[in-house]
Structure 1
Amino acid sequence: ENLKGVGAAVFICNHVNKYDALAVNYALGKRPLKIMVADFNNRPGFLGKMMRADGILPFKNTRACIQKFTEAVNYYLSHGTGVLFFPEGSEWWCYKKPRPFMDGAFHFAAANNVPVVPLFITFRETGRVRDGIDLPEFTVNILNPLYPDSEKTKKENVRDLKNGAFDACMKKYEQAYGAE
């Protein structure tokens, strides 16, 4: 219901597992989506082939790569495709609480005048263990979209979208885990 009327968007999600992009893809259904990943995820072999088939956009912090990445994100957003970012910047295995967000995803939303749709993965313990690792059950919570304000500057929109998305994720965290 929170996706009604939302076309191209910047989706943001906490990064809590190497399979969370798959969970997000499943939750979003047939919605076209590209996924921002660190360049080392663009690997050879079967896993790399599957990740590319899932729509990864590898990012490397070099001038040439940043320019190509920016062009790609702008292209996809202007052609109705969503882009998924993990604004915390790194995966923390099954970490429940939101961590501080970086600006990048929100910059793209403000620059392309598209909404930010916060997604927040919560999980519950199942008691299942494989190879000594607990296997929790994920729930991808699709939160209310946040829209850039045409009366504000890009810098103000980046700040407000980032703070609004973080606050929404924090609220979901508190609701899910009864935490303050």
Structure 2
Amino acid sequence: MMNGNSKQAVLERIYQATLTGNFHAKVENDPYLSPQESKTLVNAFWQNKHSWQGHYRNLLARWFANQASAWLNRQTEYVGLNNLRAIHSGAIITSNHFNPLENTAVRQAIRQVGHQRLFIVSQDTNLADRGLIRYLFWNYDILPIISSYPSIDYMGRTFPQYLKNVLQEGHWILIYPEQEMWFNYRKPRPLQRGAYYYAATNNVPIISCFVEIKTTSQIKNVEFYQTKYRVHILPPIYPDPQLSPKENSLRMRDRDYQQKKQAYEAAYHEPLTYTWEANDIAGWRGQPLAPLSYQDESIGVN
């Protein structure tokens, strides 16, 4: 969700989640959707997509997203672009998730190598947003998942088919395996297996990314300094044809986590632990959050 209000409460929930090791906790004030509301939103989304009006609005949304991505990432740095140039098929991109707009840095990275279109897997609650953000979610290249309730029919049949079609057309899909957004949290978190299962079953590579957040001396507001990004594009991870989808998904997930961990340690010149530190939230200049005692370096690689 796009929230412009104080982040103090959100950051306190992030802090509490790290203490309990719940690295996939929902910390934003996302709306609650009943099963019927979720089903209605997602069905309406696809009806819009399949209409000629939806096709026209998609062109406008993609143009706007590309222009906004270029503007927002004027100072963004890119490392490892050659890892993208070797990929000539559909692929799934994974990245850490800490800001509603950090996907623009990933979009701009792939545009650097001539790949013009980026699909993004997004939760159904984002379809309930308002204003310009709602327009973009409804009309950009979004693949919505139903997270509000178990949906065997949609998540087991409909969504995988949409995803497969996009990959077969040679497009790249951004999936956040950390699941929930933790605002400006610098550290890579443990990864859920879904993105890697989809890569394995569709025989496409994982484009492994880690976005480093650099705090500047410029003041953004009473709570934050301005930040800028450095996108690390890490070596792609391919399925092993000798392994089952489950085995592949576990292997690819664990390798991706290790690559993100190594990128973090190289970028910040410190070992990755999950002990709470004052600078875990990049750019924070608000009231201090309580220091910490939780640490487990093995989380996410089991």
TM range (shorter): over 0.9
Q: 1:5 aligns with which of 79, 82, 86?
A: 86
Looking at structure 1, the residues matched to 103 and 110 of structure 2 have their Cα atoms a distance apart, in angstroms, of: 10
Looking at structure 1, the residues matched to 166 and 228 of structure 2 have their Cα atoms a distance apart, in angstroms, of: 31
Answer with 1 or 2: which has the greater Rg: 2
Q: Say whether 1:59 aligns with 2:145.
A: yes
Looking at structure 2, the residues matched to 93 and 124 of structure 1 have their Cα atoms a distance apart, in angstroms, of: 14
Which is bigger in relative contact order (C-alpha 8 A, separation at least 6)?
Answer: 1
Gaps of 5+ in 1: none
Structure 1 residue ranges (4+ consecutive) displaced by more than 4 angstroms after TM superposition: none
Give the corresponding residue for 2:201.
111
Q: As a proportion of its length, which structure holds more strand?
A: 1
The RMSD of aligned alpha carbons is: 1.4
Q: Do the aligned partners of residues 147 and 21 (structure 1) sit closer, same or farther apart at CA in structure 2, a change above 3 Å counting?
A: same
Q: Do the aligned partners of residues 26 and 57 (structure 1) sit closer, same or farther apart at CA in structure 2, a change above 3 Å counting?
A: same
Identity of aligned residues (%): 29
Normalising by structure 1, report the TM-score.
0.94
Normalising by structure 2, report the TM-score.
0.57
Q: Say whether 1:93 aligns with 2:163.
A: no
Query: SS at the partner of 1:118?
Result: strand
Looking at structure 1, the residues matched to 254 and 205 of structure 2 have their Cα atoms a distance apart, in angstroms, of: 14
Looking at structure 2, the residues matched to 139 and 179 of structure 1 have their Cα atoms a distance apart, in angstroms, of: 17
Moved more, 100-109 or 22-31: 22-31
Q: Say whether 1:40 aligns with 2:125.
A: yes
Cα deviation 1:52-76 (Å, max 9, x = unaligned)? 4441211113223313221111111
Query: SS at the partner of 2:216?
Result: coil
Displacement after TM superposition at 1:126 (Å): 0.8
1:20-169 correspondence runs (5 A): 20-29=102-111, 30-31=114-115, 32-42=117-127, 43-61=129-147, 62-66=151-155, 67-132=157-222, 133-169=224-260
Looking at structure 1, the residues matched to 226 and 142 of structure 2 have their Cα atoms a distance apart, in angstroms, of: 25
Give the corresponding residue for 2:5.
none
Cα deviation 1:81-124 (Å, max 9, x = unaligned)? 11111101111112121111001000000000000011100011
Query: SS at the partner of 1:126?
Result: strand
Letter in 2 for 1:148: P
Displacement after TM superposition at 1:34 (Å): 0.7
Give the corresponding residue for 1:15.
97
